[in-house]
Amino acid sequence: MAKENRVGVSIRRTADEVKNYRKWMRLIPIAIGIAILLLITGYVISVLYMKYGAFTVSVNKFDHNNYALTLSDSADFDSKTSRLNAEISESVTNIDGERDLPDGLDNVDGEHNGENYVAYTFYCSNRGKKTLTYEYEMYIANMTYEIEKAVRVRLYVEDPKDKSSKTVVTYAYPRTDGVDGPEPGTTPFKNGRIITNDQVANFKPGDTTKFTVVIWLEGPDPDCVDKILGGKFKIDMEINVLSAGDNEDKA
């Protein structure tokens, strides 16, 4: 009788092993499929990152032809678009912005990168029929290895009503060394994602705003350390029509 019990135990154990084997054979293809999907997703993200470069600016497609913004990387608007992209070499290194950046970076149209910085000048124009208010927001689209803590973003904005007037602000991640206040010579990011935003009101048909964006890694920043090596960064700007202006031009 004892011998018969031992045989029964052996049979049951073999059945359990077969059941587990079948279960794992069903799970393995699913796991492989998920892994492949993750690899494909990572590849697509990488391709998109390379396609759209280090800086992208876009305008929204407003649902009324009377309110139309368009972009161009030349002052004469010989080519108009709703999206512009700036590329950069993958092998940039840190610089001292105050010492190494050349003067007049806002005097060259389009992409005019240096060896270790992004520089891009573009124009936003009201090509609709009505006066409007628009908002621009510049934000972090992709950052790895905490590289954003050492990034500097300088934004030049020309006054559309007075071409001789412009604002120039350098933005940086808030200090992380325990000292209160912003990094020297900078304005801190609004929060962990948004760098800055602002509005332009009474923007009449034919008005144009000139923007220049300069991006670099600040070598003297205490956060510019070895752990950010290999990090990637991408900054985007969105420009959105908010409303009609107070003094609409009659169509």
Beta-ladder partners of 194: 139
The pTM of this model reads 0.74
DSSP string for 152-213:
EEEEEEEETTEEEEEEEEEEEPPP-SS-SSPSTT-EE-SSSSEEEEEEEEEE-TT-EEEEEE
Helix, strand or coil for residue 17? Answer: helix
Share of the chain above pLDDT 90, in %: 41
Mean of all residue pLDDT scores within the chain? 79
Q: pLDDT tens for residues 130-182? A: 899 999 999 998 878 778 888 899 999 999 999 899 999 999 998 887 777 88
Q: pLDDT tens for residues 109-131? A: 999 999 889 999 999 999 888 89
Q: pLDDT tens for residues 52-76? A: 467 888 988 655 667 789 999 999 9
Count of C-beta atoms within a 10 Å radius of residue 202: 13
